[in-house]
Homo-oligomer: A and B are copies of this chain.
Amino acid sequence: MTALPATTDAGTNRDDVRARAAAARAAQPALALAPSARKDEALRQAARALRGRQSAILAANAEDMARARESGSRGALLDRLALDAARVEAMACGLQAIADLPDPVGTVLASWTRPNGLRIARVRVPLGVVAIIYEARPNVTADAAALCLKAGNAAVLRCGSDSLASSTAILAALHEGLEHAGLDRAAVQLIASRNRADVARLLALDDLIDVVVPRGGRGLIERVKAESRIPVLAHLDGNCHVYVDGAADVAMAATIAFNAKLRRTGVCGAMETLLLDRRLPPEAMRAIVTPLLDAGCELRGDATSHALDARVRPVAPADWDTEYLDAILAVGVVDGVGAAIEHVNRHGSHHTDSIVTADERAAERFLAEVDSAIVLHNASTQFADGGAFGMGAEIGIATGRLHARGPVGVEQLTTFKYVVRGAGQVRP
Residues of B within 8 A of A258 (CB): 426
Q: What 1/0 mask marks residues of chain A from 209 to 220 whose CB sits below 8 Å from any chain B CB? A: 011000000000
Residue from A128, A233, A380 with most neighbouring chain B CB atoms (10 Å): A380
Residues of chain B with a CB closer than 8 A to A120's CB = 389-390
CB closest chain-B residue, reference A350: B417
- With A and B bound together, what is the CA distance between A255 and B426 in angstroms? 7
> Is the pair B421, A377 in contact by a Cβ cutoff of 8 Å?
yes
In A385-418, the 8 Å CB interface with B consists of 385, 388-390, 400-403, 405-406, 415-418
Which of A4-12, A157-165, A305-313, A367-375 is the contact stretch?
A: A367-375
Q: Contact at A402–B401, with CB atoms within 8 Å?
A: no
Q: What chain B residues lie within 8 Å of A416 (beta carbons)?
A: 405
* Interface residue from B376, B377, B418 paired with A374 (Cβ < 8 Å): B418
- The answer to the question of A379 belonging to the interface, with a C-beta cut-off of 8 Å to chain B, is yes
* Given A375-B417, A402-B402, A417-B405: A383 and B425 interface contact (C-beta under 8 Å): yes
Kindly identify which residue among B373, B400, B425 contacts A380, using a CB–CB cutoff of 8 Å.
Answer: B425
Asked if A296 is an interface residue, CB under 8 A from chain B, the answer is no
Q: Pick the contact of A389: B125, B127, B418 (CB < 8 A).
A: B418
Residues of chain B within 8 A (CB-CB) of A231 are 231, 400, 402
Complexed CA–CA distance, A330 and B367 (Å): 55
Please state the number of chain copies in the assembly.
Answer: 2
Closest CB-CB distance, A238 to chain B, in whole Å?
Answer: 14
Q: Is the CB of B259 within 8 A of A420?
A: no
| Residues on B with beta carbons closer than 8 Å to the beta carbon of A379 | 118, 420-422, 424-426
**Cβ of A388 to closest chain B Cβ, rounded Å:** 6
Nearest CB on B from A287, distance (A): 15
Does A252 sit at the interface, judged by CB under 8 A?
Answer: yes
Q: Answer whether residue A22 sits at the interface, using C-beta atoms and an 8 A cutoff.
A: no
Chain A interface, >50% SS class: mixed
A339 at the interface (CB under 8 A from B): no
Known A-B contacts A211-B401, A374-B420, A417-B374; the reply to A259 vs B380 at CB < 8 A is no
Q: Among B127, B367, B371, B424, which residue has its beta carbon within 8 angstroms of that of A256?
A: B424
Q: Tell me, in angstroms, the Cα distance from A367 to B128 when the chains sit together.
A: 16
A-B residue pairs in contact (CB < 8 Å), sample of 14 = A29-B369, A112-B390, A114-B390, A211-B401, A233-B402, A255-B424, A367-B419, A375-B418, A375-B419, A376-B422, A378-B421, A379-B425, A383-B427, A405-B418
> 18 more A-B contacts (CB under 8 A) besides A32-B371, A373-B417?
A29-B369, A33-B368, A33-B369, A114-B388, A114-B389, A118-B379, A127-B401, A127-B402, A128-B371, A255-B426, A363-B421, A375-B418, A376-B422, A377-B421, A379-B422, A385-B427, A389-B418, A402-B415
Which A positions have Cβ atoms within 8 angstroms of B? 29, 32-33, 112, 114, 118, 120, 125, 127-128, 210-211, 231, 233, 249, 252, 255-256, 258-260, 263, 345, 363, 367-369, 371-380, 382-383, 385, 388-390, 400-403, 405-406, 415-427
